Amino acid sequence: AELIQFNTMTDHTLPKCDGLFLGGGFPETHMVALEANLPLRQHLKTAIDAGLPTYAECGGLMYLARSISWNDTRCDMVGAIPGDITMYPRPVGRGYVLLEENDNHPWPAEADSRLAPFPGHEFHYSALENLPADACFAYNVKRGMGIKGQHDGLVHKNLLASYAHLRDTSKNHWAARFVAFIRSIKSKKPV
């Protein structure tokens, strides 16, 4: 496995890759530059809609939404997530979270591992709004806010996007599961 980095503001195409991780950050502070990079936004949406295994946390989730609205400015984002980000003056979700995986989670796991709630944390001044009524979520929120109070981990095709920041721990080996998921998707594609 090879790690390839790219810059969402200056690179115009997604590098050839089998999976994508978009970490946290503050896309609202760069939303004009992110919106200006239409070629990359289109490339990302096409790749995700075609089934590229993708994991996005917080700022990554925000970037993959249709838009971000902040300080009376609205900018288009990738649009792979069928919802819009609204920034608020106070935190919407802040602190430790406790998540329970449900059967919608796209990454295979042993049955017992889905039963044990696991910790993470969240810190976001935004909310993901205007989601379709049939939006699918991978996590039930036992503590915290997540995307919709009771749910986090939006699932769309092979995308898992959440406000929760996760650590790879003995209770949640998410990184190894994500890599295994990428490999399983790659092995199903014709050469």
User: How far is it, in rounded angstroms, from Cα 96 to Cα 98?
Assistant: 7
Q: How far from 138 is each of 14, 120, 154, 157, 178, CA to CA, in Å?
A: 26, 14, 6, 12, 14
Is residue 85 within 8 Å of 131, Cβ to Cβ?
Answer: no
Phi-psi region of 159 (alpha: psi -120 to 50; beta: other; left: phi over 0): beta
* 136 catalytically annotated: no
What the block records as the tokens of 16 is 């050839």
Q: Of 17, 58, 75, 136, which one is the catalytic site residue?
A: 58
Show which residues are catalytic.
58
